[in-house]
Structure 1
Amino acid sequence: MKRRRGFVQMAILHLLGEEPMHGYQIMKELESRSGGLYSASAGTVYPALQELMERDMIDLDPGSDKKTYFMKEKGTERLNEFVDRREGEFWSEWEARWVWQNSEEAVQLKETMDLWEAELRKAIKQARRSSESSSKLINFIKEITERIQRENQ
């Protein structure tokens, strides 16, 4: 599954909404605001910064000796849209997310999902051999999806 950088991008917009920063400052601040539970990597932060620049939400300060990023009008608008439709304080949610992701439940859920994904791939491979197997697998996946949907209502 492809990881999305949306939550990290929103965190970066929140930081740059406070003050211009360079990449290392951003990484350290993201870690700090997670209570030390999230270790921001260059491989996550710099692509997120690049994407925000490509979307014209942030830019580099040409007068700075370091690559210092600052928020542009479009970034401020996006941040305000996000804030307007959310409840709660962003940084509390940020920290809570990392607390949960480091919990035993999250670790077990990830292990279970990895096992499920491996077994599903095997079942799909076997289902290619007959339309009856494909039908059974489709019905099984639909049934499980409906059960999950009912549980989350």
Structure 2
Amino acid sequence: GGPGFGPGRGRGGRGRARRGDVRLAILSLLADAPSNGYGLITGIAAKTEGAWRPSPGSVYPTLQQLVDEDLIVADESGAKSVYSLTDQGRAHVEEHQAEIDAAWAATTDKSEGEDAFQTSLMKLMGVVKPLMHDATDAQRQAAATKLDETRRALYAILAD
């Protein structure tokens, strides 16, 4: 939960997306262009800057439900089913456009602290691979000690 589609960004970390979030995200993307299921999954990930990538286990049952509700139609003439909005689906998107816009905005809004944290985390990940593959045992031991110190310091920050 939380505002927006997909996992929340609160103190508790990321949760699971609610089914309504998946529905609105799919309908929103199909309002722009027809797509197959994989295209919708990657489209949601792209539109949320990687913050949310729904699983096939949530997308495909939702697509079937939307077909059953006559909000979308599946063209199964090719190798993969391509989904598009029906007139009823387009009306549903128009009716819920403000909610959809607010949800997309909430998934990409990052605070200054969140942006800085993600940048630092990516820098840390950049040094982990060379440590795993190219470092000596002594270097790995020194790195492990430093990581343990850092982990304890991070828990102390969370405890504040």
TM-score grouping bracket, smaller chain normalisation: 0.5 to 0.7
Residue aligning to 2:24 = 10
Q: Specify the code of the residue in structure 2 equivalent to 1:17.
A: A
Residue aligning to 1:93 = 106
**Which 5+ residue runs of structure 2 have no aligned equivalent?**
1-15, 115-160
List structure 1 runs of 4+ shifted beyond 6 angstroms: none
1:4-153 superposed matches below 5 A: 4-83=18-97, 85-86=98-99, 88-96=101-109
Deviations 1:56-93 (A, max 9, x none): 1001124433210010011111101101x549555223
How many angstroms apart in 1 are the aligned matches of 2:49 and 2:106?
12
Q: Specify the code of the residue in structure 1 equivalent to 2:40.
A: I
- Checking the alignment, whether the CA contact within 8 Å between 2:28 and 2:100 is kept in structure 1 is no
Residue aligning to 1:111 = none
* CA shift for structure 1 position 35: 0.9
Question: Would you tell me which structure has more helix in proportion to its own residues?
Answer: 1
Indicate how the Cα distance of structure 1 residues 17 and 65 shifts in structure 2: closer, same or farther if over 3 A, else same: same
Indicate how the Cα distance of structure 1 residues 66 and 77 shifts in structure 2: closer, same or farther if over 3 A, else same: same
How many angstroms apart in 1 are the aligned matches of 2:100 and 2:31?
18
Indicate how the Cα distance of structure 1 residues 20 and 40 shifts in structure 2: closer, same or farther if over 3 A, else same: same
Percent identity over the alignment is 30
**Which 5+ residue runs of structure 1 have no aligned equivalent?**
104-153
* CA shift for structure 1 position 22: 0.3
Q: Specify the code of the residue in structure 2 equivalent to 1:70.
A: S
Q: How many residues align?
A: 97
How many angstroms apart in 2 are the aligned matches of 1:64 and 1:52?
20
Name the TM-score, length of structure 1 as normaliser: 0.55
SS at match of 2:73: strand
Residue aligning to 1:133 = none
How many angstroms apart in 2 are the aligned matches of 1:60 and 1:14?
16
Deviations 1:39-65 (A, max 9, x none): 221011111111111111001124433
Indicate how the Cα distance of structure 1 residues 88 and 45 shifts in structure 2: closer, same or farther if over 3 A, else same: closer
